[in-house]
Amino acid sequence: MNKIGLWVGFGCIFGSILLSCSDSIGAPKDKKGGKMKYEVQKSEEEWKKVLSSEQYRILREKGTERAFTGEYYYNKEKGKYLCAACGAELFNSDTKYESGSGWPSFYKPASEKVIDSETDTSHGMTRTEVTCSKCGGHLGHVFPDGPAPTGLRYCINSASLKFKKD
């Protein structure tokens, strides 16, 4: 094989590796590092079309909004909080409380089935990340310092939510 053929072969292999990796950049991973399967599946380009840039950064890239800036932090209306990415019902206003954390806080999800969690060791901390079980979108974190009856504080980014008034 000549040098040109070798470089062309290398380029094809390298290019296909990049393409297969780019499909999962920002996508949630399963415990083995593979792409998770969710009821709602979209390519990253499709997510970029349906989410604002801030929602994409938070839901797909595991970002966070600045404390006390989120749309729903001060919301006191009765209703349901849905996933901004897929519309799954995540929390009810009856479980929302003022935690002083700067993010909307809830002491329990609408159902145990709507939230997935896993250990997050980013930023030099150990926390429990919570994601939407329907689409895999990053919602925020849960902490064991909430009120009764659960003792939990689901600290959720407003950009991950849509509010539906009762």
The CATH code of the domain that includes 156 is 2.170.150.20
Total of domains in the chain: 2
pLDDT level of residue 125 (50, 70, 90 thresholds)? very high
**Separation between Cα atoms, residue 137 and residue 59, nearest integer Å:** 5
The answer to the question of whether 21 is labelled as a binding residue is no
DSSP-based three-state secondary structure for 80: strand
Full residue range of the structural domain in which residue 58 is found? 39-165
What are the residue numbers of the active site? Answer: 155
The answer to the question of whether 132 is labelled as a binding residue is yes
pLDDT exceeds 90 at position 25: no
Is pLDDT larger for residue 60 or for residue 4?
60
Residue 132 neighbours by CB under 8 Å, 6+ apart: 83, 85, 86, 88, 90, 114, 115, 116, 139, 160
Residues 78 and 127 in one domain: yes
**What is this structure's pTM?**
0.78
Residues 157 and 94 in one domain: yes
pLDDT exceeds 50 at position 9: no
Q: Report which of 51, 73, 55 is spatially closest to residue 64, judged by C-alpha positions.
A: 55
